[in-house]
Structure 1
Amino acid sequence: MKQLFLITVFTALLVVQCATEEEEIYFTHLYGYAREETDSTTGISGLILKIRDLNPNDLDYWRTREVTTQTQDALVGFFEIDSVVYGTSQQQGTGYVAIFLDSLQNPQWPSQLWYPTIFGPADTIILYVLE
């Protein structure tokens, strides 16, 4: 009887601990390059990209930020954006960050969408842009 009581108490404590655990937000500093798909060595500067990720203030909503590709240290098509939320301790996967190229803001390029796989406090991606 005493063992049953102890098992019940420990199980209840475990359930309460798991239910009240606060979500840990996973941030990354995202570096990237926009390249032409037909010639992967040619970067593209001047593209306006929209980065959509989880809103760290309210994880039920998204936030969208813009970044423009540029030439930095002789690397054409470079961009970076800080504090990108790519998941939480309870929400993980590849669909939490999206990068959108809007043809209305970039008339020379068709609209395109990427869902990059991001892990860790800093990550680098390459976006291959269709013509």
Structure 2
Amino acid sequence: MFMKPFTWGVWLVVAFILIYTMFIVWFLEHPSNPEFKGSLKDQIATAMWFAFCSLFFAHRERIYNHLTRVVIAVWLFLVFVLTASYTANLSSMLTIQRMEPSVASMELLKRNNLTVGYDKGTFVGKLPGGSA
């Protein structure tokens, strides 16, 4: 259920953008920020941790470059939009009821010979007495 609010394509794009942001932050901060120096493994780990942590909570690394701040601002805005979209999709999936007719309501309509408007191709037109 965790993965359903987004398609696999969206998840892949989010992962790509996360890695791209990680690379850009590392590229901009590496020359001036001592926290982004060290062995290649440490640099990659710091950049990945920085980008991943920004998804959920504040990062502890200090930002020295002003361009990095712009990149992070855009990334945080994107994270905000993704979080809102994911939450809306998940909550609608968990709360929406299927639009199926109840037997009692259908019998009431038939008994009183009431007409019902419906969109072409919906289940109402396929019921007995429907004209679809």
TM over 0.5: no
More strand as a share of residues: 1
More helix as a share of residues: 2
Q: Highest CA radius of gyration, 1 or 2?
A: 2
TM-score normalised according to structure 1 size: 0.29
TM-score normalised according to structure 2 size: 0.29
